[in-house]
Amino acid sequence: GDSVTQMEGPVTLSEEAFLTINCTYTATGYPSLFWYVQYPGEGLQLLLKATKADDKGSNKGFEATYRKETTSFHLEKGSVQVSDSAVYFCALNAGGTSYGKLTFGQGTILTVHP
């Protein structure tokens, strides 16, 4: 079946450091890929997405590139801020008859210190 694996974390960084959160997936066909962010006590917010191979999703300084050859969708940001502290989820949608269902990774906690 479909699955998403992301680095366990937690990840602790100083402000202005470079961020990478790894995400790899297993899916049949050509899934769409997503990164969601969850701030404490809130629902998930869509951060960025990519729908086909080599697409780069970007938003708020975050980027991720859909790499079909390595089945990866790593999240990066060049300079993190304290306000980026949150839980980050990688997810895929396999399309077809999945009715839009998402398969999520377990989430990675990011803490950014001043």
Chain residues binding other proteins by CB under 8 A are 32, 34, 36, 38, 41-46, 49, 51, 87, 89, 93, 95, 99-102, 104-107
Strand partners, 25: 4
> Nearer Cβ to other proteins, position 17 or 98?
98
> Nearer Cβ to other proteins, position 17 or 87?
87
The phi, psi pair for 36, rounded to 5°, reads: -115, 155
Beta carbon of residue 61, minimum distance to other proteins (angstroms, whole number): 20
Beta carbon of residue 107, minimum distance to other proteins (angstroms, whole number): 5
Beta carbon of residue 16, minimum distance to other proteins (angstroms, whole number): 26
Tokens of 100: 């839009």
The phi, psi pair for 80, rounded to 5°, reads: -80, 155
Beta carbon of residue 6, minimum distance to other proteins (angstroms, whole number): 11
Strand partners, 12: 111
Burial category of 35 from C-beta neighbours within 10 Å (exposed 0-12, middle 13-18, buried 19 and up)? buried
> Nearer Cβ to other proteins, position 20 or 106?
106
Taking the C-alpha atoms of residue 45 and residue 53, their distance in angstroms, rounded to an integer, is 23
